[in-house]
Amino acid sequence: MTTQEIWQLQAIETPRVSATYMRHRIRDLARRTQLRNGVEYAIGVLGALFIAWHSWSLFLHFPLFVAGLTLTLLALVYVTFRWHRLASAAQIPEDAGVLDSMSFYRRELERQRDARRGNWRWWLPPVVPGLIMVLTSFVLELNPIPWALVAFEGIVIVGGLALGVAFYEWSATRLQKEIDALDSLVVKDPAG
């Protein structure tokens, strides 16, 4: 096989990526990010309203329970603002070329992946004290102690937190696969 034939064969096998396609992928990532964040913000607002409503109606009868709910509410506000800072969608300039778009897209995928991978390390510590205080209030403020309710709430809390951690780790793995696929498009220099 001649050098020209090898060169022509490589040109055929090399994937072609256009700036339009990259902008489409970037807009799709931004749309998915905004949708996911919107759902999480809506859940946060509904949770905050639920906690505020329960706190108001139970304040005089169950102060420890209300303190636990208040701590949970404060943690929810902190987590929501920190998540917004870490994982909100970024916008690319419209005049970006193919390489700039690919580079921007890869950086965004990395940023979204890093926001998810191991994020339980920063959102779990502020949430746990309020949840423990709520469970403690069941034992200290209710007579007779509703052990079935305490066990059920404990299972729901631990299960919910475990599912949240697993979902974010799965999402980070999925984003890493997309980064790897994007990296496979870049032709490596065999001499370098």
Q: Taking 60 as the threshold, does the pLDDT of residue 86 lie above it?
A: yes
Q: Taking 90 as the threshold, does the pLDDT of residue 155 lie above it?
A: yes
Q: What is the pLDDT of residue 75?
A: 92
Tens-place pLDDT, residues 19-56: 778 888 888 888 998 998 899 889 888 888 887 887 77
Q: What is the pLDDT of residue 171?
A: 92
Q: Taking 60 as the threshold, does the pLDDT of residue 15 lie above it?
A: no
Q: Which residues contact 16 (CB under 8 A, 6 or more apart)?
A: none
Quick one: average pLDDT of 161-173? 92
Q: Taking 80 as the threshold, does the pLDDT of residue 78 lie above it?
A: yes
Quick one: average pLDDT of 6-12? 55
**Is this prediction's pTM over 0.85?**
no
Q: Taking 90 as the threshold, does the pLDDT of residue 104 lie above it?
A: no
Q: Report yes or no: 67 and 133 within 8 Å, Cβ to Cβ.
A: yes
Q: Taking 60 as the threshold, does the pLDDT of residue 173 lie above it?
A: yes
Q: Taking 90 as the threshold, does the pLDDT of residue 126 lie above it?
A: yes
Q: Taking 60 as the threshold, does the pLDDT of residue 108 lie above it?
A: yes
Q: Taking 90 as the threshold, does the pLDDT of residue 125 lie above it?
A: yes
HEC assignment per residue over 78-141: HHHHHHHHHHCCCCCCCCCCHHHHHHHHHHHHHHHHHHHCCCHHHHHHHHHHHHHHHHHHHHHH
Q: What is the pLDDT of residue 191?
A: 52
- Mean pLDDT over each residue of the chain, to the nearest integer: 83
